[in-house]
Chains A and B, each alone.
Chain A
């Protein structure tokens, strides 16, 4: 019993350490628009692992495997750069090419090994599909070491990394050793990817670099915070994925970790306060409601101004503004809640309250002041000024309005010869 729980603990600690380091490095990878580099590096590691196995004569020590994987991973990324720099092949093609051809060579070597007399239980598949359950105490030192290196590197080189991500030209101009920093990041990424092969496998490695980082991007615009979020998300995904996979026997850990990471991402995509889809939709809805309400208030004001009576029906409003009956009812109900109108009789007509009148005057004043401004300073004809004012009245701030009023010297009428209402209730 205690053996089992110790084993689960090893797996948990191992995957969490890996999740943290992948989350941290993933932030830089995603911000530099190289999201799929982890995918390529993971695939390019396979021939290295096989070669290490062959050269060491069948030794199965993970350090050999990792050395091999790091060598071919680096080779793959250098090949990618060389192809893009030396020919007209584009980046995405170079990436796919290196990924698939290196992997093909790896498969070739792997099957070659399997057909050799010593290769029957080579344990290489563990690197292919990920087998977090096989993490033992010895591996924890490795994961811990890599996580420690990543955290140290990020802390020590934070400023340099920031410049590298956001303004490489500036970094070059102030004489930072850009290629050396770039190389350090690459080596660290290769190390993390190689370690990750054991817990999530080749194909899902890309997710551990990309998904927590893009989820973190939803919550913040600051690099430091994004690093924090990303590391936490990576750890959280590893923890919950490992937990879920222990619920049933023979469940693969890697895919569950990725599914958890994707769930975190999906939540962030929808719910994150600023960039999230739901808050964005809500803000859009609020703005559109406000604009409709303000337009309706102005229409009510016009109807009163034109002497059509104090009590206004929706049919009368429709003569001034293209709204449907349903829309009209909804907007008036919202205005009623805000105390700007009151219904008369059987809700057939509506009456502006004094608060509503003040609000309407404010809007009409802005609208007409802007019309005056357009016609006086931009020499637009009376027919052309209305559309512009229709848009700007919703976003003019009181300060701008006061400036406008002063610049125009309190005009009495707008270009259509309508009176501009100055504050009636409030003293000036």
Chain B
């Protein structure tokens, strides 16, 4: 029972951190940059392993965040100087970095305790047994501590920079006239996304991080028109997906991370159909009503 709670708690922290940042990615139309970063951190992790010969989280976070920023820079460079469409720039950048990461891992396969399966699925089920031991005393699962720290960082970032993030997201021109650097906040957000992605990487894998980044935010986006509520909804939906995913995984004996993504997708489909204002059904009804009563009254 406690093991289940620990797994759900860790998954919930992953989902909540990703949901907070993912909402901004969706609003800024940069969802795929999140996808790119989550893949491109791989060589950073591999190099950090190789240089420090340990799984210590600090160098890993550092290496991966650097690579995340490199991705953001490269994409920007290819888009501006290389005159590529931005999605093509993303496609070239992250695949290249991921390929380099896979090559580094297979070159030093003996020295890097990291395999491709782990990269793609992650393994959240082992969380309760990988404990953090300080001075002979166990302080509980290490992943829970790391994810907790990352969540606090993200929360502090969004809380402290709420106004700046809001204005640079919705009205970059206004932000510029107010003297708020859109570039600074772009890269700060990218840095936060990289950090969160790499922390969640071991737990849910590179691709399901994307599900956690995008699905709760997209669901919330259909439910509300206000940024504050969007963030709250997306954190709540993320946590619900984590809990529901754990249940589903236990039921059919399968990957917890995969089940979390599946449940998050299920929530999205529900919202897509049944959301009060932006759902398909309510839009359909509204259209029928306005046709039924003659021309719509405005």
Of the candidates B29, B98, B120, B272, the one having the most CB atoms from chain A within 10 angstroms of its own CB is B120
User: How many B residues, CB 8 Å from partner?
Assistant: 67
What mask results when residues 245 to 267 of chain B are scored 1 for a CB within 8 Å of chain A, else 0? 00011001111011111101100
Closest chain-B Cβ to A216's Cβ sits at a distance in Å of 12
Say which size band chain A's interface belongs to: 35 or more
A383–B172 CA distance with the chains assembled, in angstroms: 39
Interface check A284, CB cutoff 8 A: no
Residues of chain B with a CB closer than 8 A to A203's CB:
39, 95, 98, 120, 206-207
Residues of chain B with a CB closer than 8 A to A99's CB:
35, 207, 210
A109–B258 CA distance with the chains assembled, in angstroms: 8
Residue of B whose beta carbon sits closest to that of A38? B91
A34–B265 CA distance with the chains assembled, in angstroms: 22
List which B262-298 residues lie within 8 A (CB) of chain A. Answer: 262, 264-265, 268, 272, 278-280, 283
Pairwise interchain contact B207-A255, C-beta atoms closer than 8 A: no
Pairwise interchain contact A105-B100, C-beta atoms closer than 8 A: no
Pairwise interchain contact A88-B215, C-beta atoms closer than 8 A: no
Which of A133-141, A207-215, A223-231 forms contacts with chain B? A207-215
Interface check B19, CB cutoff 8 A: no
Pairwise interchain contact A97-B258, C-beta atoms closer than 8 A: no
Interface check B72, CB cutoff 8 A: no
B116 partner, pick from A129, A206, A214, A262, beta carbons under 8 A: A129
Residue of B whose beta carbon sits closest to that of A209? B91
**B-side binding surface: helix, strand, loop or mixed?**
helix
Residue of A whose beta carbon sits closest to that of B207? A103
Pairwise interchain contact B88-A97, C-beta atoms closer than 8 A: no
Closest chain-B Cβ to A353's Cβ sits at a distance in Å of 41
Pairwise interchain contact A112-B253, C-beta atoms closer than 8 A: yes
Pairwise interchain contact B211-A93, C-beta atoms closer than 8 A: no
Pairwise interchain contact A101-B31, C-beta atoms closer than 8 A: no
A86 partner, pick from B91, B109, B252, B272, beta carbons under 8 A: B272
Closest chain-B Cβ to A166's Cβ sits at a distance in Å of 15
Residue of A whose beta carbon sits closest to that of B82? A269
What mask results when residues 31 to 54 of chain B are scored 1 for a CB within 8 Å of chain A, else 0? 110110001000000000000000
A209–B171 CA distance with the chains assembled, in angstroms: 34
Interface check B158, CB cutoff 8 A: no
Interface check A277, CB cutoff 8 A: yes
**A-side binding surface: helix, strand, loop or mixed?**
helix
Residues of chain A with a CB closer than 8 A to B264's CB:
101, 104
Residue of A whose beta carbon sits closest to that of B265? A101
Pairwise interchain contact A112-B252, C-beta atoms closer than 8 A: yes
Given contacts A89-B221, A210-B95, contact A43 B207 (CB under 8 A): yes
Interface check A256, CB cutoff 8 A: yes
Closest chain-A Cβ to B26's Cβ sits at a distance in Å of 5
A101–B259 CA distance with the chains assembled, in angstroms: 10
A30–B103 CA distance with the chains assembled, in angstroms: 26
A102–B258 CA distance with the chains assembled, in angstroms: 9
Pairwise interchain contact B260-A104, C-beta atoms closer than 8 A: yes
B88 partner, pick from A204, A214, A248, A252, beta carbons under 8 A: A214
Interface check A39, CB cutoff 8 A: yes
9 A-B pairs with least C-beta separation? A104-B261, A101-B265, A107-B258, A207-B95, A100-B211, A108-B258, A255-B99, A210-B91, A111-B255
* B interface residues with partner A (beta carbon < 8 Å): 26, 29-32, 34-35, 39, 78, 81-85, 87-88, 90-92, 94-96, 98-100, 102-103, 106-107, 109, 116-117, 120-121, 205-208, 210-211, 213-215, 217-218, 221-222, 248-249, 252-255, 257-262, 264-265, 268, 272, 278-280, 283
* Between-chain CB contacts (< 8 Å), 28 pairs: A33-B87, A35-B87, A36-B35, A38-B91, A92-B31, A93-B31, A95-B31, A97-B211, A102-B265, A104-B208, A104-B258, A104-B262, A106-B258, A107-B120, A107-B255, A107-B257, A108-B259, A110-B255, A111-B258, A115-B254, A129-B120, A207-B95, A210-B91, A210-B92, A248-B107, A258-B96, A259-B100, A262-B99
